[in-house]
Chains A and B, each alone.
Chain A
Amino acid sequence: MSATEGLDTAVHHEEHAHHHEPQSFWQKYVFCEDHKVIAKQYLITGIVWAVIGISMSVIFRIQLGMPDSNLSWLKPVLGQWISETGKLDPNFYLALVTMHGTIMVFFVLTAGLSGTFSNFLIPLQIGARDMASGFMNMLSYWFFFLASVIMFASLFLQAGPAAGGWVIYPPLSALPQAHPGSGMGMTLWLISMAFFIVSQLLGGINYITTVINLRTRGMSFDRLPLTIWSFLITAVLGLISFPVLLSSVLLLIFDRHFGTSFYLSEIYINGEALPNVGGSPILFQHLFWFLGHPEVYIVLLPGLGITSEVIATNARKPIFGYRAMIASMLGIAFLAFIVWAHHMFVTGMNPFLGSVFMFLTLIIAVPSAVKGFNYITTLWKGNIVFTPAMLFAIGMVSLFVSGGLTGIILGNSALDIQLHDTYFVVAHFHLVMGAASAFGLFAGVYHWFPKMFGKMMNNTLGQIHFWFSFIGIYLIFIPMHYVGIAGFPRRYYQFTSYDFTHKFMDMNMFITVAAILSFLAQFIFLYNFFRNIFKGETAPKNPWRSNTLEWTTPIVPGHGNWEGELPAVYRWSYDYSKPGAKEDFIPQNIPYSQTLESNFPHENELIATEKEIEAQNFNDQFNAAH
């Protein structure tokens, strides 16, 4: 293929003069500092967590959809949490809801998505040997692993894991006497979260440093693929907002164990008036959502970045409005910091603040709309190849738009009065942040699997997996909006206590059936993924005929990613179907001087700068003395 020929002529092959000591098993696969291995560690851990997290949701969906069913068959797994009569324990129901939220938001969609692809793609797509600090990168994964172990251990406590909702609002989370889940389970939750935040900060600093400092020659910011832009912005968001969660978690630990009153005031519980006065539970909510809202975008932006890349590649078209895409991501990221209180319209916060936050919140719809329309225009007049990655990317855009639109309702404080904490909210954020990001994750796995493992996943199984998941997601969450409009509150163990929730039994059962079937469909993916790591066909060098630099590396890139010199970059990554070009793609490392037939006039002028670009080589750690 011409892409590889281009590489051969553009890059001078040199025997690189480094000899590496043979690495032990531990160095190579466990405490490894290679970004590709760390990415795989993140991915596998994320997948394990996803199976646990989604299984939990299936259990509580059964409780909600079939409240009369006998759950004795779960006794071998859940033990004491299933009563003699086969009923789920109400406290454990809350624990399941809490752990599902925590696991999916933090461990799957933050670590599993951003951790995997930031680590894997940043060095490969900007043309770097590795991350700025491989050691910090390794630490980042192992802090995450430690957080995972602690959170996992909390599932087996006698009193159960944390159970106050994933937002852990005090005083419920601060008072062990208020709820069994606020005892040791909450302590472990807080410790685990503290380690998780350390992991995120180590990772984030690394991503930012790497993108800024280690871009290869010619890779200016306006030639970065949108994936890298999204990872960079995500890392900045995390770096600013996670420390706030850390401090709120620390203050909560103080309240729980050292008798402070940051969040506690005038409480009478279990026949005892507590001495704490002067604190404010609302303070915690402000601090929590100052992270919590950017967190939504920390989860979503990498998905949007991956989608941009996958859609452009498989529509065989340049992404429409490259600069507008960057600008809208920057806009979303900025606004993400000043909308947090829209989660708190009915907490008793000053109504004037509510007005301000409503206004700011609805502005976010504008850059989001720009992104949506840009994706659609990218599809327009394309030559679309439905790889599984492409299907998931298209599905992601659909979910992002459908889920985002109901956000306009919820961001309106007057309408939020009725809908706050109902299933309308649950449906909204599962579509826009849960499912959309998960689809971004799937798109990324299908697209970069060949680069990760040097093998191909099965195309047809991937396509089937997509249709089950896509249809399943809509079958779950469209009816859930109806349940929300009827006013069903979330986090209810069952709906039998109230007359106004004494309807939609069939609808809840329907949602549960759809959820179970969608869950089962994910096993198609697991089979496809794990089987083909070992037994897949060997991948070609550039299976999707893509422009970005990672496809110029060997099929299984070794330590340092490129043999010989790092590639130089002469163009942006979206030269697909360029008029006059021989092929329908021109990789970033092909100089304009080799594509005279397809250059635009301003690109011909750039030919003069090519010598200058080639002469630079300041970022190659392998060429620097060490």
Chain B
Amino acid sequence: MYFIIALVALVFVVLTVVVVTRLQDVLKNVKKPASADEVPSGNSWNGAMFIVIIIAAAVGITWSYMNAREHFLPIASSVHGRRTDDLFWFSMGILTIPFAFVNFLIFFFAWKYQFKKGNKASFYPDNHKLELIWTIIPAIVMAMLVFTGWKAWSDITSEAPADAEVIEITGKQFNWIVRYGGVNDNKLGNYNYKLIDAQNEVGIDLSDENSFDDFLNPTEMHIPVGRPVLLKIRARDVLHSVFIPHMRVKMDAVPGMPTKFWFVPDKTTADMRAELNDPNFKYEIACTEVCGQGHFSMKINLVVEDEASYKKWCAEQATFLQTYPEYLAKVPDNLKAKAMKGLPADTAVPADSAKTASTGGGIGTSAALR
């Protein structure tokens, strides 16, 4: 809206006019010596400005707030998100009172007690009762805010429920890679950063049988609605931070130190599309820890769907071994039979595939770079 810009331009134009008129006064008054009884130069218009500003600010802040609120994040789509939202607006509500009150007093007193000829300020160096009052009242308000915040924080960061859907998300320059435990065991296999190569982007350790049915997705994360989801968060190269704005989820991804965050999404993508009346709505995951050139576009979409569609989607995904059967060479011999299960029958393991895989991945291929 160019309207706002026009408004600010107007404010500055008015100020400029004030400047020009004042400058003429300056030129006139240059030589006048100041004495103690005289009204100091510019005192009255500066005093008046405080009243002008306080009115303009009250109008401006109220109007801009009402105008901007439609663009604030829509209603949270997770259970804890609504709780922190309520807490946020409650705190903001409380804090608006001292914000308005204190600023009003500063500006009003500045105007009211501006220099007047023959006036003398009152000698009022201290008052212990007043000091006590404005120590104790903020302390009580703080205690209340701390307590509500602390309750919410400890619930949010508590251990994830046992039935949580565990999904791994790994950050790298400059995209996210999602890994699922797979439909057979639904358990994430081990990983080791030394096993990372161009195909095995998150270092899946294929000597762990839990990893045989793991599948990766570098473009989309799907999660079921109405059930706890536990994100296991990792980073491959530098710090990243998983930010799902609509879920009120944020947690850093730290190389060498896995982190986690669990939440209960309770609105599917379809629900949100209906609610916002926007058929193109998508949940998004962003990065909020500066990670280099592509930091601003490290995007992956999030799809929240009902349990059945989620299960169906998972079943349709090709496991890592199905996509790259040559990695069978890395499976220990005693587990090969198990690992072969989901694979097409004709997938014979070439004897030298292990070598191909490792040499192919060792060099920075385009997949590793981007």
Contacts and interface: CB of A to CB of B under 8 A. Distances in A.
Contact of A464 (B22, B87, B292): B22
Contact of B131 (A321, A490, A495): A321
B138 A355 contact: no
A468 B26 CA distance: 18
Contacts of A278: 256
A318 interface: yes
B153 A354 contact: yes
B364 A365 contact: no
Given A323-B126, A348-B254, A479-B64, A409 B95 contact: yes
B5 A513 contact: yes
A419 B81 CA distance: 12
Contacts of B173: 178, 269
Contact of A322 (B25, B123, B126, B284): B126
B15 A471 contact: yes
Interface stretch (B102-110, B205-213, B336-344, B347-355): B102-110
Contacts of B237: 171, 175, 178, 267-269
A576 B121 contact: yes
Contacts of A474: 57
Interface string B121-135: 111111100110011
A460 B299 CA distance: 52
Interface residues of B, number: 131
B91 interface: yes
A178 B292 CA distance: 7
Nearest to A164: B290
Contacts of B252: 346-348
Interface in B15-57: 15, 18-19, 22-23, 25-26, 30, 34, 36, 40-43, 46-47, 49, 53, 57
A405 B99 contact: yes
A510 B67 CA distance: 14
Interface stretch (B178-186, B220-228, B240-248, B304-312): B240-248
Contacts of A270: 364, 368-369
Contacts of B167: none
Given A492-B295, A584-B120, A377 B257 contact: no
Contact of A402 (B15, B103, B142): B103
B109 A577 contact: no
Contact of A171 (B81, B120, B238): B238
Interface in A266-322: 266-273, 277-282, 315-322
Contacts of A491: 290, 295-296
B259 interface: yes
Interface in A312-354: 315-324, 346-348, 351, 354
B281 A385 contact: no
Contacts of A171: 237-239, 255
Contact of B257 (A348, A413, A417, A493): A348
A402 B124 CA distance: 26
B216 interface: no
A226 interface: no
A485 interface: yes
A266 B193 contact: yes
A543 B139 CA distance: 41
B121 A281 contact: no
Interface string A501-517: 00110110110011001
B41 A460 contact: yes
Interface stretch (A20-28, A227-235, A393-401): A393-401
A383 B119 contact: yes
Contacts of B204: none
A218 to B, nearest CB: 19
Nearest to A395: B106
A376 interface: yes
Contacts of A358: 146, 149-150, 153
Contacts of B40: 385-387, 459
| A375, A385, A495 — most chain B CB neighbours (10 Å) | A385
Contact of B293 (A90, A351, A354): A90
A497 B173 CA distance: 16
Nearest to A517: B12
Given A171-B237, A380-B109, A409-B95, A492 B68 contact: no
B239 A172 contact: yes
Contacts of B289: 169, 421
15 contacts: A265-B256, A271-B197, A273-B193, A355-B153, A372-B102, A415-B149, A417-B156, A421-B243, A458-B26, A459-B41, A478-B60, A478-B61, A489-B287, A493-B295, A510-B5
Interface of A: 90-91, 94, 164-165, 169, 171-172, 175, 178-179, 264-273, 277-282, 315-324, 346-348, 351, 354-355, 358-359, 362-363, 365-366, 369-370, 372-377, 379-387, 391, 394, 397-398, 401-402, 405-406, 408-409, 412-415, 417-422, 458-461, 463-464, 467-468, 470-471, 474-475, 478-479, 482, 485-487, 489-495, 497-500, 503-504, 506-507, 509-510, 513-514, 517, 537, 543, 545, 574, 576-579, 583-584
Interface of B: 1-2, 4-5, 8-9, 11-12, 15, 18-19, 22-23, 25-26, 30, 34, 36, 40-43, 46-47, 49, 53, 57, 60-61, 64-65, 68, 71-73, 81, 83-84, 87-88, 91-92, 95, 98-99, 102-103, 105-107, 109-110, 113-116, 119-127, 130-131, 134-135, 138-139, 142, 145-146, 149-150, 152-154, 156-157, 173, 193-194, 196-198, 203, 233, 236-239, 241, 243, 245-246, 248-252, 254-257, 259, 280-282, 284, 286-297, 299, 361-365, 368-369
Given A316-B120, A354-B157, A584-B36, 18 more contacts: A90-B296, A169-B239, A178-B237, A267-B237, A351-B153, A374-B131, A377-B130, A383-B120, A384-B114, A386-B42, A398-B103, A418-B248, A460-B41, A478-B60, A482-B64, A510-B4, A537-B30, A545-B36
10 closest residue pairs by CB, A with B: A265-B256, A271-B364, A351-B157, A348-B259, A412-B149, A414-B152, A386-B46, A497-B297, A492-B296, A577-B121
